[in-house]
Structure 1
Amino acid sequence: MYFRHSPEIWEDHPALVPGVLLAEGVTDRPSVDARVAEYQAIARQRLERASEGDWPEVQAWRRVFAQMGLKPTQYRCAAESLLRRFRKEGALPRLHPLVDLCNAVSLAFAIPIAVFDVSRISQQMIVRYAKGDEHYHSFAGEVECPDPREVVFADADNRAHARRWTHRQSAYSAVRGETASVLIVAEAHHQSAPADVIRLVDALADELKGLWAAPSAKAVLSRASPSIEM
């Protein structure tokens, strides 16, 4: 089992910097309140200086969405959506300790982070252009087919685990109470992404070890080294 981006994605998005972590032994028991509050404080301080739409991390993703033919103010990367909600409401819904932690880290770094239950992935996960016949399970309980050429996270069963790249994940592989093994993916395109993604991956790896004692593998992928074994 492996994770990678397709050659076409690298060709069309040469500034892409993906960070990937794999962890086992995850449970829904740890308390992450203190860690979440620390990362949220970083985001809050930055939002006091400028709204998220002015941040280079968000602007870079808006350019990517525009390149994909999507209106950036209609379809937003997950980090921008979280930051908008956090700015307006001052908090985010609690879902699962690991998801809550990753959402807080995403706020602090303004980089979208996806968390997948590995047991729900068939053989591989490839970020690629959709053919249009993949199956995506929405959180509303509907099964959708992505648009052709839409960027999806797809497995060997032709299941799309995310639509419009970093816009929305699938309910099918969402982390739940019984989840034990996870694939975490963070992706960025802005100028300082190479350094920022390394810091993000290192921070998450430390959190995983401290909160779950979960053995983790981590990597920052590139066009020359595009995959990680799961």
Structure 2
Amino acid sequence: MPQSTDLEAFLAAATVADEVFALRPDYRALLIAVDGIEPGAGDTESEALLTRAEEWAAEATATTRVEDLPHIASWRDAFRGFGAKPQRTRTSVEALTRRATAGLPRINRLTDIYNAISVLRQLPIGGEDLHRYSGSPRLIRADGTEPFDTVADGTTTIEHPEAGEVVWTDDAGVTCRRWNWRQGRRTQLTDATSAALFILDVLDPMTSDELTTAADELTAQLARLGPDVTIARRLISRSSTQEPR
């Protein structure tokens, strides 16, 4: 059975750079590490979540533009803060919300669950394969030399972030560019993923209660993905003591 202490040690070493908090003092990162997942195709519960998310998006955008939804508007402002153009590189929650009105993708139950909750709770959530990490996650402002493995024109390639760009990284390189815009191929979830890291990126006006609701919903869904599932989570904020919880 997986050991929760291993997950807690992994999360305890995660950091958010002071330069990121200087850019957005209201930023919080809730990290959820899970092991013991039994991979599987979409099921009744993941399908119900996706349907709820699609219905929510259709109703929310019936009279309000996607970019004017409060949490998405906050993230667009954050992107502008480090020089990104949100109309060209959309935060993950905006991209999913736009797609939800026409139908969210059905990939596998692990991916479907976090995509649906991202839309329903209106916060960016990244999901990555924990076994593919080299060291613990760090959120930094890039110097522009960090490697990022991606695909361009159908070919695997190494790119580099722009200097000053907010990126998630580990010891081997960038795992997600522009805060929560595009994830790298090295740590991406697959149909065989049995251990995962979920990063919930939070800005005002999302409240602590709203964040807790989203995190509890995600962990409840993860807990049903196998009899030996083990979960740990940790909140990092400017004012936190940065202790696991």
Is this a same-fold pair by TM over 0.5?
A: yes
Give the superposition deviation at 1:228. 6.3
Relative to structure 1, the CA distance from residue 136 to residue 227 in structure 2 (aligned partners, 3 Å threshold; closer, same or farther) is farther
1:122 is aligned to 2:134: yes
Give the superposition deviation at 1:193. 3.5
Tell me the distance in 1 between the aligned counterparts of 2:99 and 2:47.
Answer: 18
Q: Is the 8 A contact 2:40 2:191 kept in 1?
A: no
| RMSD between aligned residues | 1.8
1:219 is aligned to 2:228: no
Aligned residue identity for 1:17 = R
Structure 2 matches for 1:12-31, cutoff 5 A? 12-29=23-40, 31=43
Aligned residue identity for 1:145 = H
Q: Who is 1:81 aligned against?
A: 95
Q: Who is 1:192 aligned against?
A: 206
Aligned residue identity for 1:223 = R
Tell me the distance in 1 between the aligned counterparts of 2:113 and 2:142.
Answer: 30
1:176 is aligned to 2:190: yes
Give the superposition deviation at 1:44. 2.8
Q: Is the 8 A contact 1:79 1:111 kept in 2?
A: yes
Percent sequence identity over aligned pairs: 25
Give the superposition deviation at 1:212. 3.5
CA-to-aligned-CA distance 1:66-123 (integer Å, 9 cap, x gap): 1111122112100001111222xx2122223211111111111121100111111111
Q: Who is 1:58 aligned against?
A: 72
Aligned residue identity for 2:35 = E
Secondary structure (helix, strand or coil) at the match of 1:115 reads strand
Tell me the distance in 2 between the aligned counterparts of 1:5 and 1:51.
Answer: 32
Q: Who is 1:107 aligned against?
A: 119
Q: Is the 8 A contact 1:131 1:149 kept in 2?
A: yes
Structure 1 outlier segments of 4+, above 4 Å: 226-229
Give the superposition deviation at 1:227. 4.4
Tell me the distance in 2 between the aligned counterparts of 1:198 and 1:182.
Answer: 19
Give the superposition deviation at 1:139. 3.7
Task: State the TM-score, normalized to the length of structure 2.
Answer: 0.85
Tell me the distance in 1 between the aligned counterparts of 2:138 and 2:99.
Answer: 29
Q: Who is 2:5 aligned against?
A: none
Q: Who is 2:20 aligned against?
A: 9
Q: Who is 2:162 aligned against?
A: 147
Q: Who is 1:162 aligned against?
A: 176
Secondary structure (helix, strand or coil) at the match of 1:221 reads strand
Q: Who is 1:92 aligned against?
A: 104
Tell me the distance in 2 between the aligned counterparts of 1:4 and 1:226.
Answer: 12
Q: Is the 8 A contact 2:49 2:117 kept in 1?
A: no
Q: Is the 8 A contact 2:28 2:238 kept in 1?
A: no
CA-to-aligned-CA distance 1:150-196 (integer Å, 9 cap, x gap): 11111112x10011111111111000122111110111212233222
Aligned residue identity for 1:4 = T
Relative to structure 1, the CA distance from residue 45 to residue 220 in structure 2 (aligned partners, 3 Å threshold; closer, same or farther) is farther
Q: Structure 1: 5+ residue runs without aligned partners? A: none
Tell me the distance in 2 between the aligned counterparts of 1:226 and 1:17.
Answer: 12
